[in-house]
Every structure is written in structure tokens, then in C-alpha cells.
Amino acid sequence: MATSVLVTGASGYIGQQVAIHFRNAGYRVYGLVRSIEKGAHLIRHEVIPVVGDLNNPSTFLVALNASAIVVDTVLDFTQKDPFAPNRGLLEATAKSAAELGVVKTYIYTSGVLVYPNSTRVQDESSSLKADDTAPLFKGRIAFENEVLSHTGVRGIVLRPGFVYGGATGAGNFLASFFANDSSKDKIVLNNELKGQRWPWVHIADLADGYVRTARNAHIVKGEAINLVSENAPSYEELTLAGAKVAGFKGTVEYNDEKDSGFLFTLANKTVLLRNDKAFDLLGWRPTHVCPLDEIEIYYHTVKGSWN
């Protein structure tokens, strides 16, 4: 019988592709969704939709008990404690394992912004206690430690780069760089933000990393692993390239004004990372080139057509 996997957030940008990739790799996959409507597309990919509430594991207990692997891709910003649902799932997974007398793997989806601002290339051994870490990521680091030290599961943390490629969705960071099209007459870039760089990862490479992690869980339990490409284009490079392919022909201005959006509040830092651990322990290497090199493909994919 095929090994079973439960993927949370299976209707989301990352969760959907991860669930499909597990199924294509031969696993029996349960995809946790909030409604049967959100899970309808999963059926076409042989993923079994499970309607449930992540805040209440009893609503999907049958699928949880049936699964040897739990892949958690959810971060719920609507919660007072965004990590409460993840913590509840972690404990429910451990309880299920204990009651059934089996070993279960819990794979948590973190991210590269837990690392401090630095132009030095970092890896998983780098300290995550920098003073400039935003409160959200301090909470994420704390939960990462809970996962990695938990004695009731094989806990593993994956830190994807900024994800791009495939269908559009809230997790496709590249889509926002196509907003400056021919209807705009001006782009304004902040002088502080323009040079910031982050590692990226294509959604297909990322999904492959999850499957490799599950297959090697006995080796990488208790590990945090970067799933990133080695390319880190600057915010300015991406903005201008995205605007060009979208047909922008206006002017570019630079200023020192900040705002309260995601980039300034959470991502206003440079993070450069190595992926040696993923290569050494998982045999993982990203196969897609830098998003800048094929940005016209991603533009037309986001827009849904080729001219």
C-alpha cells in the first residue's frame, strides 16, 4: 500500500503543487481544504480532498491517522497567534503517532526571512537571534525550534526562498512585479529597498524538495533545510525587468519614502543563502534558471495568455 501524506493548505499556491507532486511520486495524498469547492481541482490530480479546520484536528482525524507524513504549508495571519494552528497540528500528529504506535514525520514550511539582514552568504548554521528580526519571524523561529526538538515526531523545517512559477496565487511573489504595465506612466523606487536581494525557488523545484525530504526523513529529522536557488536578483532588477516585459514605457524615479507594506515591514533586508545541506542530504538541486532569465515566460503565465 502506498505511503499516505496529509498536506495542509492544499488549495493554496504552495500546498496544491506539493500535494500534486507527492501524488505524481506515487504517494496516497490527502489535501486539507476549507470547503469541497476549494478541493474540487485536487480530485483531477488524484489528490483526495479532506474538508476540515486546521484549528480543530478532530475534523480531519481520519486522514491524520492514516498519514505517515504531515506536510504543513499554512500560516494564518488572521490568528492572534499565527502559529497556534500549526502548533495544534504538531501536537495532534504526535498524539496520533503515540496512539497508533508508529513514527510520523511532520514537515513545517518556514521561510528565508527568518535569517537576519546580511550581505554575507548564510546557511542553516547561522544565528537567527538578530535584533532586526521582525516579531512575526521571532515567533516563527520559536515554532521552528519546537518542531525540531519535538520527541513525538520526526520534525523537519524547510525554508523556501521566494516562490515563483506556475499558476498565480498569494504565494507567487514574482506576480507582483508585473503590476507596472503600459497603463502606468511612472515607477517610484525607494533608495533603501532597491538593492535588497532575496533567494528564489521555482514552485516545481520546491515541490520536489518536499518529496525528497519525506523520502529521507529518517536522515534529516531534526534538521532545518534551505530550499533556494543560488540566484538573488535585486528588487530594482526585478521591478525594471517585470515592468519592461509588461509593456511599461514611462519614467523611473527614486525617493526615500517608506510605506507599511510587506516589503518594508518584513522583507526590507538582504538574505543570501547556501543550499549545500539540501544537496548533500537530499540530493536536491534547483533545475530552473534565475527568474530574470525567463521573465517573459512568467509574465505570460501570470497573465494567462501569449500575445
The CATH number of the domain holding residue 73 is: 3.40.50.720
**Do residues 114 and 60 touch, judged by C-beta distance below 8 A?**
no
What's residue 168's pLDDT?
Answer: 65
Mean pLDDT in residue range 190-203: 96
| Structural domain harbouring 36 | 4-165+200-230+271-289
Which candidate, 224, 213, 220, 230, places its Cα nearest to that of 288?
Answer: 230
Beta-bridged to residue 187, according to DSSP, are: 252
Residue 2: pLDDT band (50, 70, 90) is confident
Q: Which three cell numbers stand for residue 66?
A: 492514516
Cβ atoms within 10 Å, residue 305: 6
Mean per-residue pLDDT of the chain:
94
- Provide the pLDDT for residue 281: 98
Per-residue pLDDT tens digits for 67-95:
999 999 999 888 889 999 999 999 999 99
> 77 or 182: which carries more pLDDT confidence?
182
Total structural domains in the chain? Answer: 1
Output the pLDDT for position 131: 58
Q: In this structure, is residue 252 part of a structural domain?
A: no
**pTM score, two decimals?**
0.96
Model confidence band, residue 250 (pLDDT cutoffs 50, 70, 90): very high
**Contact indicator for 153, 90 with CB cutoff of 8 Å:** yes
Beta bridge partners of 159: 226
pLDDT value for 178: 93
pLDDT (tens digit, 9 = 90+) per residue, 223-243?
999 999 989 999 999 999 999
What is the model's pLDDT at position 132? 59
Q: What is the pLDDT of residue 304?
A: 81
pLDDT band at 166 (very low <50, low <70, confident <90, very high): confident
Share of the chain above pLDDT 70, in %: 96
**Structure confidence at residue 112 (pLDDT):** 96
227, with CB counted inside 10 A (0-12, 13-18, 19+), is: buried
Q: Which amino acid is at 220?
A: V
In a domain, 39, yes or no: yes
Mean pLDDT over 40-56 rounds to: 96
Question: What pLDDT sits at residue 169?
Answer: 62
- Residues 20-31 have pLDDT tens digits of 999 999 999 999
| Domain assignment present for 305 | no
For residue 146, with 0-12 CB atoms within 10 Å meaning exposed, 13-18 middle and 19 or more buried, which class applies? middle
Q: How does residue 129 score in pLDDT terms, banded at 50, 70 and 90?
A: confident
Dump the DSSP string for 220-248.
Answer: HTT-EEEE--S---BHHHHHHHHHHHTT-
CA distance 69 to 156: 11
For residue 98, being part of any structural domain is answered with: yes
Tell me how far apart the alpha carbons of residues 209 and 212 are, in angstroms, rounded to a whole number: 5
Is residue 237 domain-resident? no
Task: Give pLDDT, residue 77.
Answer: 83
Residue owning grid cell 523537519: 156
Answer whether residue 290 shows pLDDT above 90. Answer: yes
> Does some domain include residue 204?
yes
pLDDT recorded at residue 53: 96
Residue 37 lies in a domain: yes
Q: Which helix (H) or strand (E) holds 264?
A: helix 262-265
Q: Is 73 a domain residue?
A: yes
| Mean pLDDT score, 185-212 | 97
